[in-house]
Structure 1
Amino acid sequence: MFQFKILEKSEIDLVVPLVYKLNQGRILVEVLKARFADMVNQNYECAVILDDGVAIGVSGLWYCTRHYSGRSVEPDHVYIEEAYRGKGLGKQFFEWIYNYVSEKGYEAVELNTYVSNYASHKFYYNEGFKILGYHFLKKL
């Protein structure tokens, strides 16, 4: 039986291996741990999918109010272990997220996905997401 829940701040290191896989090892584990330790003290929560107590899926949730969408949440670093994909678990996870954030008073969900991640594009289209623009990044 799968469980969907928000991690306590003290449990955040549970998702580091998943996010490491998501980023294909491009970000060192030590860097991820330091960043997550900082993130949990911001407008951030971390949702997970547990299978018998083991984290097999993750989505960060960033909260803010935007002038064009109102109170919104941004799922970030969404990842489900490969062996669990294609079974409707992502849809169940997002339904849980929609319900969770709606109960907190949020009215919109928006996200970014890598341009090369075609499977995620199909998933988000099927979830009713629309493309509004491009996401740009400049490292300082």
Structure 2
Amino acid sequence: MGFIFKILDKEHIDLIIPLVQKLNDEKISFPVLQKRFHEMVNQNYECAVILEGEKLIGVCGLWFCTRHYSGKSVEPDHVFIEETYRGKGLGKQFFKWIYDYVSGKGCEAVELNTYVTNYPSHKFYYNQGFNILGYHFLKKL
């Protein structure tokens, strides 16, 4: 069976929450994520997914903006692929699909953040041609 890459209709955004919870070790409750995602889909956000048949196995949020230093860009966010599907080239296929999709929307650059301790993602992004340009800082209010 093949994989399907597509943009999720915003009315189905709740389907990704269990995968995003796995990415964050379920530290953020379903109701909190649901509220946040319902706000996000009404901003410059889209959600790309990977399906195997009807089964959702991967997710990647896409934030669109224009930055003074890179032009129109997209920021992949909360990238997650179910563990049993990793290490088989699926992430590479997914990102190829994402690059083609966002190029079609006029994006000139892709930039992202990844957790400092997520070493497998660092290797993946280096292999995808990403370079480290700075640090991401966060202050909770």
| TM-score category (smaller protein) | over 0.9
The correspondence of residues 62-101 of structure 1 with structure 2, limited to 5 A, is 62-101=63-102
Is 1:135 equivalent to 2:132 in the alignment?
no
SS of alignment partner, residue 72 of structure 1:
strand
Alignment TM-score, normalising by the size of structure 2? 0.98
SS of alignment partner, residue 14 of structure 2:
helix
Partner of 2:118: 117
Could you list the runs of 5+ residues in structure 2 that have no partner in the other structure? none
Aligned AA (2:24): N
Cα distance in structure 1, aligned partners of 2:108 and 2:54: 31
Partner of 2:11: 10
Q: Give how far 1:53 is off.
A: 1.3
Cα distance in structure 2, aligned partners of 1:54 and 1:3: 10
Cα distance in structure 1, aligned partners of 2:105 and 2:64: 10
Aligned AA (1:125): Y
Aligned AA (1:3): I
Partner of 1:108: 109
Cα distance in structure 2, aligned partners of 1:49 and 1:133: 30
SS of alignment partner, residue 28 of structure 2:
coil
Q: Deviations over 1:95-128 (max 9, x none)?
A: 0000000001011000000000000000000000
Cα distance in structure 2, aligned partners of 1:106 and 1:83: 31
Partner of 2:25: 24
Q: Give how far 1:130 is off.
A: 0.1
Identity %: 74
Is 1:37 equivalent to 2:38 in the alignment?
yes
SS of alignment partner, residue 134 of structure 2:
coil
Cα distance in structure 1, aligned partners of 2:106 and 2:18: 31
Aligned AA (2:16): V
Q: How many residues align?
A: 140
Alignment TM-score, normalising by the size of structure 1? 0.99
SS of alignment partner, residue 128 of structure 1:
coil
SS of alignment partner, residue 140 of structure 2:
coil
Aligned AA (2:125): Y
Q: Deviations over 1:9-41 (max 9, x none)?
A: 101011000000000011011111110000000
Cα distance in structure 1, aligned partners of 2:54 and 2:44: 26
